[in-house]
Structure 1
Amino acid sequence: MTAYYPPIAYIVPEAENGWLLKTILAKRMHVSRKLQSKLKLTEEGITLNGRRVYISVHVQAGDVVEIRMEKETSDDILPQPIPFDILYEDEHILIVNKEAGMIVHPTHGHYTGTLANGVVDYWLQKGEAYRFRAVHRLDQETTGVLAIAKNPYVHQHISEQMIDNLVDKKYLALVHGTPDPRQGEVDGPIDRDPEEPHRRIVTPDGYPSLTRYKVLESWTKGSLVELKLETGRTHQIRVHMTSIGCPLIGDKFYRHAIYDRQGEHGEPGSSFADPEPHSYPTEPVSEIMELDNFISRQALHAFELSFEHPVTHEQMTFRAPLPEDMARLRQRLEA
């Protein structure tokens, strides 16, 4: 007998009396064509008042439409007892606070030790069967809130909210200097660096990219900045903040251009055209290096994530506190 996840139900209101079932599925329950095709092939995938029907039938007010997805497992991910911080969990989603240095999903050369390995083991120990589906990405060294869907419907629903810009993702960063103005936006197209394809740069021929920022606190050598992504390009915050002369403290990849200007080439320098000279911090390069060496990663934290729950339709907001290494760096800047 096929094992299913709990059904997701929709009660047809009076205003939708006589609609086609396929219209209810697409317009009201937001089931993608791909998922509809899969559900139609399972015995209890799509039911109307408890009976399996064709999606070409007409519904009546008060009818109960239900979809059921078959249980899945991540057989390609090795379960490992890796601890991780859970912020929220229900039968549809898992929200975690990712730590620094943890890769989200196994990749070539990193088949174990990832968040996915730990989550799959956690579900296995609870006797639950889910396929690991991270809804969005965080860089290996970026900490903070990460959403994981427990079924394809939830993954699709939140992904569509992201495409429609209905998901709020806010970050905290500790940067060199202070952005001018203290609140604004960086509207700079991003694409691969033709000389170093694994890097991204701001270039007129790039993909539209927009980051909004607000300085929360500022000190002599740096600032605490809140950032909101309006687009989701790879390394977007790191690239945009470097492009305005305020790179993230500790970032060994998108370093401050002052390293190149001072002849410091221990790590790759910035590939951007120099911003206006006044946007650079006035400290000697040694002081910038001291701050960069104070933390072992880029000082970036995904502190808040908001979206509509795909099943309950409740607007939900999840927050993760500032991690210890960034808190120490903040104290260092204050001192």
Structure 2
Amino acid sequence: MSKTTLFQHVVTPEEDGELLETVLRKQFRFSRRMMRVLKHEKRVWVNGEWIFFRSRVKEMDLIRIELNIAEDVEYISPEEVPFTVVDEDEDLIVVNKPPNTVVHPTGSHQHGTLANGLIYYWQQRGENHKIRPVTRLDKDTSGLMVLAKHAYGHAFLADQMAKKRYERSYFAIVHGNLIHDRGTIDLPIGKVPDVPLLRFIDFSEEGSRAITHYEVVERFSHASVLRLWLETGRTHQIRVHLSSIGHPIIGDELYGNGEEEKHLIGRQALHAKSLKLYHLRKRDWVAWEAPIPEDMKQLLHILRRDS
């Protein structure tokens, strides 16, 4: 596997006469730490020559950046774990995570995680990467996740997420019929004291603002199909918000009646269906979709049959 990856940029008319470091920050959003590394290791060339970062560039100059992506990789045992690769390039990988799959090994889940599967998948291709999730999903939520394949990719994409420069939608099947066809849930979420896993609607100073937008896609006798968009990214946000307005997700054991609904579906009926990000190398928006999984299709079949 190559230990470096190359980025290029041709100086635009608007950038003519600007400092090299100004162009680098604007075009690549390098962190201060990465700028120091690039400067120290002399990994930036203009027209094939190394120049000082305080030098000025001219229109049509070719800037080449060679990033060192070799790193000490944490040990995670490689295991053949089922997941689908939706898209992959030298900077990122987009996967469709199946339900009942933890993203990263924890004290109680050392094996069978998505990370174990990715390490195995990359090793089969002669590659070696750290596990760098840009987006995350609960164990029993299925759907799209994006992971970066090097530190710069993760920093760039994490910055995009922090600035809300992304679009992400979810598909959920909930109890009951919502009054409105579309709406917004704007309720703060906090941690349940002494129960690290649980969250609740918390109007105290400890609560963090959380905003979820929804649209009803289909209605049944006693259930609804929703498409949801997050304006914030709190833990269990969709699950807590929907439960708080009296429409818990079918199969949700923490915030609904999941234990009593095993005959319908063995997990919460929540799926990360679409994702759109600004790509660090293509300098353009890229979008992906993941089909509705079979267990949720079966649940839809039951609800349509019984309505």
Matches within 5 A, 1:232-243: 232-243=233-244
The code of the aligned residue for 1:331 comes to H
Tell me the alpha carbon deviations over residues 96-149 of structure 1, each in whole angstroms, 9 at most, x when there is no partner: 100011111122332322111111221111112332211111001100011111
**Contact between 1:35 and 1:152, CA under 8 Å: does it hold in 2?**
no
CA distance in 2, matches of 1:63, 1:124: 38
Change (3 A) 1:78 1:51: farther
Change (3 A) 1:62 1:106: same
Alignment partner for residue 313 of structure 1, among 268, 278, 283?
A: 283
CA distance in 2, matches of 1:117, 1:51: 42
The code of the aligned residue for 2:185 comes to V
Q: Partner residue of 1:275?
A: none
Taking structure 1 as the reference length, what is the TM-score of the superposition?
0.85
CA distance in 2, matches of 1:50, 1:57: 15
For structure 1, which segment, 316-325 or 292-301, has the greater mean C-alpha deviation from structure 2 after superposition?
292-301
Tell me the alpha carbon deviations over residues 4-54 of structure 1, each in whole angstroms, 9 at most, x when there is no partner: 3331111111221221111111122211222223333435x3222233333
For structure 1, which segment, 77-86 or 231-240, has the greater mean C-alpha deviation from structure 2 after superposition?
77-86
Tell me the alpha carbon deviations over residues 41-97 of structure 1, each in whole angstroms, 9 at most, x when there is no partner: 435x32222333332222222222222222335342222222321111122221110
The code of the aligned residue for 1:255 comes to G
Taking structure 2 as the reference length, what is the TM-score of the superposition?
0.92
CA distance in 2, matches of 1:195, 1:310: 40
Offset of 1:293 from its aligned partner?
4.1
Tell me the alpha carbon deviations over residues 275-316 of structure 1, each in whole angstroms, 9 at most, x when there is no partner: xxxxxxxxxxxxxx4x45421111100010011111112321
The code of the aligned residue for 2:302 comes to R
Q: Partner residue of 1:101?
A: 100
Offset of 1:226 from its aligned partner?
0.4
Matches within 5 A, 1:172-211: 172-194=171-193, 196-205=195-204, 206-211=207-212
Q: Partner residue of 2:24?
A: 25
Q: Partner residue of 1:228?
A: 229
Tell me the alpha carbon deviations over residues 194-230 of structure 1, each in whole angstroms, 9 at most, x when there is no partner: 3534211112231111000001001012111100011
Q: Partner residue of 2:265?
A: 295
Matches within 5 A, 1:32-47: 32-43=31-42, 45-47=43-45
Q: Partner residue of 1:215?
A: 216
**Contact between 2:82 and 2:98, CA under 8 Å: does it hold in 1?**
no
Matches within 5 A, 1:1-335: 4-43=3-42, 45-72=43-70, 74-194=73-193, 196-205=195-204, 206-255=207-256, 289=260, 291=261, 293-335=263-305
Change (3 A) 1:114 1:39: farther
The code of the aligned residue for 2:270 comes to L
CA distance in 1, matches of 2:67, 2:116: 23
CA distance in 2, matches of 1:173, 1:255: 13
Which 4+ stretches in 1 moved above 4 angstroms?
Answer: none
Any idea what SS the aligned residue of 2:4 has?
coil
**Contact between 2:4 and 2:70, CA under 8 Å: does it hold in 1?**
no
The code of the aligned residue for 1:252 comes to E
CA distance in 2, matches of 1:235, 1:159: 19
Q: Partner residue of 1:263?
A: none
Return 5+ residue gaps in structure 2 as ranges: none
**Contact between 2:5 and 2:69, CA under 8 Å: does it hold in 1?**
no
Q: Partner residue of 1:262?
A: none
CA distance in 2, matches of 1:301, 1:32: 33
Offset of 1:175 from its aligned partner?
0.4
Return 5+ residue gaps in structure 1 as ranges: 257-265, 268-288
CA distance in 1, matches of 2:194, 2:230: 26
**Contact between 2:87 and 2:93, CA under 8 Å: does it hold in 1?**
yes
CA distance in 1, matches of 2:264, 2:20: 59
Any idea what SS the aligned residue of 1:122 has?
helix
For these two proteins, the number of residue pairs brought into alignment is 302
Change (3 A) 1:110 1:163: same
